[in-house]
Chains A and B, each alone.
Chain A
Amino acid sequence: MNVRILTNCSCTVAAALLLLGSAGCAFKVVRPPPLVVGSAEGGNVRVVKYPAYILVHDSQSNWDLHQIKDNAVGLTEGEVVHWLDMGIDGVTPGPPGHPIENGIEWIKNNYAQLPDCAPVRVVGGLFYALGLEKITLLSGATKIIWAPTDPISYLAVLRVIYLTDWVQETLGEVNTGAGHLVPWPGPFVPLAVTAPVNRGVDWAQYGSVELYIYVVHKISVGLDDALDGCESAYGGVVWCFVRTR
């Protein structure tokens, strides 16, 4: 690198360091010790010298870009219930007890004790599909981070899939129930008719969930790739800073 370029880049360097430094980004310069190679016969020693390395990625630091990304994304998954529990646990001495979450689990466990009949299954299924207890505080932000161009939140997509599943199962219950009223054995609408329809709907539901997970994964990996790029660029910037000294 010649002097002119160095001067040109020092402003950028300073700006970049200031920016990343204020975000808590740290770096470490590592100089591997030279490698001394002794020959098998005991003489003839060769020494391998290594350049210095600049490390930026820190898997343990909450200020590492990857961690910041994960946490920003994760924020949109935070349940209202969870935040309330955190608040309560924060002011109660002793280990966290998650009172609201455990209360909800208690209700669910007790609901499950009701006799296994169609109305119980239908109502239980509806509550599961709605997933009221899983409502997040920042679902609006979900849209922005996951799908800036897509007006529909992916979380909403999941709920829609679950609700179609519930509708499907409820129709099945009604069909089975109505089967008692008709003279032929089995459900009201024979299985030969419902089975292919159900299979089709199932396929679409599984496919949608799979697509959702695929997209989430791709976005996350894409962001990681971008951050790797940022980190190596930052490493490069630090490198020219270190070399000038």
Chain B
Amino acid sequence: MGVVAGVLGFAGGCATVERVEPVVPGTFAVPANQAWTSTGIALELKQKLLIEEVEHPRQVLIKGIKWQTVTARGTYLFDVETGPYPLEPDRVHGDTRYPGYCLIGRIGEDGVPFFVGTHFQGLAPQAGTLWLGINDPTPQLNRGDFRCRISTDYPDAPEPAPAFTEAETRTEALDNPEAPKPVPKPAKPLEQPKPVPDANVVIIYVDGLRPDVVVEMAQWGQMPNFRELFLDNGSWVRNSFSVLPSLTLTNFSSMITGDYSNRNGVKMQAYYDRKANVYVDGLSVRYFTRFADELKARGVKAIYDYFPDTFSSTAMPYEPLRANVLQLNLAEWLHRAVNAANYASNIRNKMDEVQTRYALDLASSPKVKVMLVWLPGNDVVSEQTPHGQFGGARPTIARMDGDLGQIVERLKIRHRFENTYFILVSDHGHAGGHDIVNQRFDVKREVFHAYLQMNVVGAWYRFNYPGAPKSRLGAVADYDGAVGIFIPLGSVDSGDLSTPNTYEQLAHYGLADGSQVNAVELFAEYSAMGRWPLKDTSKRPVDFAVAKVDADTVLLYKTMDRQALIRARLNADGIFEFKYEPVRHYETGQPVEPITTGDPLGYLDSEAFRKEVRNVPRWMAGYHTGTEWLQATYRTEYPGCVNSLNLYFRWDGPVTKDSPVPSQPGILLFASKGWVFEPKINLANVHEDTLGSRHGMAFREATNNCLFVSGPGIRKGVIIESPHRMVDIMPTVLQMMGRDPNSAEMDGRPIREIWEGLQ
């Protein structure tokens, strides 16, 4: 074997270890059939180290099987092991961050293994000899070797130029009294994007995909199709954020309507229907048309209404019972689904495969111009593996790249690729898995039962409080990182769930024994064991609660001392403006007590916020639009929460005589980092899932969503810094299809910065 010819047999202390000599000067062959091989290169502590796989490497055959091939990057696509991998010995099988069978390194025989893959550049973590190996617990039957070049020097990267943000120059002019007044530019009409005629738009909606994760995997060579289409030949809108709460149905609704929930009415993915007195779980099959029916009844237009003859999709989180493009309807989807999954109950385990198979039918039809492909697999697996997208979800993400490749290839074969715009979007981020494994907080037991002594109906089951009268009922959607709380008007036994309580009513909420409590305080600050310690709010499950004060105002409640009012008003142009007013001890009718530090969203103490707005007191004194607030806060831990939280408690939708008013919870609870609202014991199902990463929360990890765009006239290989959000996608799609994005009067604005020549 030519490969081994370059390797000098060298029996060291361990019989299985051979020392590698360069096959050609500077190039090493690392045999794949042994765990570790010494390179003989001695490194000093913090010495520079560069390891690069050669170009066009030969494939290594894992266990000698010809369809199990890898190079130094390893793979997520197959896994024939049962035990832990050497690179991550503490992780349970099926929950690893790094690909199996990749090239790994260590310094010294007892060194901690590190990931090398196709490229490693860094400083030696300790002094000693460099060893290279394969991330395979049982390498003996492998065939072939990894080839790499090793160097102990590399040129230092130049200092990165400070990122330019539009905000800095803009706020300097707008908000700093000392700044020179901007010279008014001669008014000329804004140049508009010029999409190709007869365009197609393909929206790849990967549920819950984290942008940092997909980019990391692409850099490791695991996402070739994604990399080519979006990173090399498209634009990444890096600061894109979901609307709040960062749940699937609320964000899917904003994605397909271009509106916030005050205008589309989708407040929660599960809620208590205050009119009909039933609990509606929008994620159950039973209700899969419900939200679409509600949109229609409210007079809200969605993507399928904007393109009645040319829109078609795979199964979506919810959808109307309509045959969009004849012959490509739900019945055909079911047929494809059963055959792609082998049997019907396997469909939910194979959703990405099923959806992709059907997407190929859509991509083959010239009638389909606007196409939406929902790939939910990532979200499902993330929620059921402890480390989520930093663990067990990665094989699903790697397979998604193959799905993307198939769809692109079909469009190329059918000569449709050249005039197709691609948007890869996720509806929200995912919290947990990287440094924290989430834990559960059972709001039914810990608050409803412990303090209100109330029966509760939720997403899983009705959980009765022993001895409580049957009619004493509250409701909560207890999964994910945000929950809506529904409790009867005024007191636990009023039996009236027809309208939400105001903060005034919640702050003096009646218990069964006639005493009163502050219900918001209970939900925000208590477990069954009493109040969480005030000093360290990072260890408690609830980040903050939100409740409605009056028609235009909501209260954010973190603790008694850390609160904020968000007030809304319409400006002269009919656009909402918001004021964020940090206070303590808020009480209806009492004068407010302002605070200057420790506000619930942390803006007052945020360097990033101060940098954007320059003059904090001046900024806080005024009203600003949602776009301005997003610009001011997009680099903080809570991007763009101000308008989103206020609008959540409003209903300004297109109202007809019969138009139903959305069921609104009285209190909205957001989870802290590391916590998820979910019962510890599942009383609905024999099977219990492992708790993984989740979403719904207000902080950045849960709200930063993927937004990658590619197509004719779209900038290639750029990262766009200016912030955007979910509502901007629909107007951008209208623009790509040659429609006037402003004619629909959506909340969102088309994204300009993605177009060549329009920066």
Contact = CB atoms under 8 A, between A and B. Distances in A.
Interface of A: 26-28, 30, 32-33, 35-42, 48-51, 53, 55-62, 66-67, 70-71, 73-75, 77-79, 81-82, 86, 94-95, 105, 108-109, 112, 128-129, 134, 154, 158, 161-162, 165, 202, 205-206, 209-210, 212-214, 216-217, 220-221, 224
A95 B402 CA distance: 15
Top 3 A-B pairs ranked by shortest CB distance? A74-B344, A209-B323, A58-B686
Given A36-B529, A74-B338, A77-B338, A210 B322 contact: yes
Contacts of B326: 161-162, 165, 202, 205-206, 209
B364 A27 contact: no
Given A71-B344, A206-B322, 18 more contacts: A32-B681, A33-B681, A35-B528, A36-B529, A37-B451, A37-B529, A38-B529, A48-B450, A48-B465, A57-B684, A57-B686, A59-B687, A81-B339, A108-B364, A165-B327, A209-B329, A209-B331, A217-B321
A82 B528 CA distance: 55
A77 B339 contact: yes
A83 B321 CA distance: 30
Nearest to B349: A60
10 contacts: A33-B681, A37-B450, A40-B531, A48-B465, A60-B686, A62-B345, A74-B347, A77-B344, A205-B323, A214-B321
A32 B444 CA distance: 13
B331 A59 contact: no
A158 B331 contact: yes
A209 B328 CA distance: 10
B331 A78 contact: no
A48 B285 contact: no
Contacts of A220: 285
A112 B331 contact: no
Given A108-B364, A217-B289, A82 B339 contact: yes
Contacts of B526: 40
A30 B528 contact: no
Contacts of B338: 74, 77-78
Nearest to B409: A109
A100 B756 CA distance: 44
B445 interface: yes
Nearest to B410: A109
B528 A37 contact: yes
B342 interface: yes
Interface in B493-547: 526, 528-531
Given A56-B686, A61-B687, A209-B326, A86 B342 contact: yes
A153 to B, nearest CB: 12
A77 B339 CA distance: 7
Contact of B686 (A27, A70, A108, A210): A27
Contacts of A128: 327
B473 to A, nearest CB: 17
Nearest to A45: B529
B119 interface: no
A210 B344 contact: no
Contacts of B347: 74
B164 interface: no
Contacts of A32: 445, 681, 683
A50 to B, nearest CB: 6
A77 B345 CA distance: 13
Contacts of A75: 343-344
A213 B449 contact: no
Contacts, number: 134
A38 B326 CA distance: 62
A206 B116 CA distance: 56
A37 B465 CA distance: 13
Interface string B386-419: 0000000000000000000000001001100000
B685 interface: yes
B108 to A, nearest CB: 39
Contact of B413 (A67, A82, A86, A109): A109
Given A26-B686, A27-B686, A35-B449, A212 B331 contact: yes
Contacts of B285: 220-221, 224
B461 to A, nearest CB: 8
Interface string B679-696: 001111111000000000
B360 interface: yes
A161 B360 CA distance: 22
B720 interface: no
B327 A162 contact: yes
Nearest to A128: B327
A165 B451 CA distance: 62
A129 B529 CA distance: 65
Contacts of A95: 67
Contacts of A62: 345
B445 A35 contact: yes
B686 A55 contact: yes
Interface in B287-313: 288-289
Given A48-B449, A71-B344, A158-B331, A40 B530 contact: yes
A39 B329 contact: no
Contacts of A158: 331-332
Interface string B531-568: 10000000000000000000000000000000000000
Q: Interface centre among A37, A112, A134, A210, by most B CB within 10 Å? A: A37
Contact of B683 (A55, A60, A109, A202): A55
A80 to B, nearest CB: 10
Nearest to B334: A77
B344 A38 contact: no
B440 to A, nearest CB: 14
Contact of A55 (B67, B286, B334, B684): B684
Interface in B674-729: 681-687
Contacts of B339: 77-79, 81-82
B58 interface: no
A79 B340 CA distance: 10
A102 B472 CA distance: 59
Contacts of A112: 364, 413-414
Interface in B314-363: 321-323, 326-327, 329-332, 334-335, 338-339, 342-345, 347, 360
A94 B288 CA distance: 37
A152 B322 CA distance: 22
B25 interface: no
B591 interface: no
Contact of B685 (A59, A73, A78, A134): A59
A240 B330 CA distance: 43
A32 B463 CA distance: 11
B182 interface: no
A72 to B, nearest CB: 8
Given A134-B335, A206-B323, A213-B321, A58 B687 contact: yes
Interface string B447-459: 0011100000000
B342 A77 contact: no
Contacts of A206: 322-323, 326
B2 interface: no
Contacts of B450: 35, 37, 48
A233 B681 CA distance: 22
A112 B364 CA distance: 9
B61 to A, nearest CB: 13
B683 A216 contact: no
Contacts of A67: 345
Contacts of B451: 37
Nearest to B357: A101
B466 interface: yes
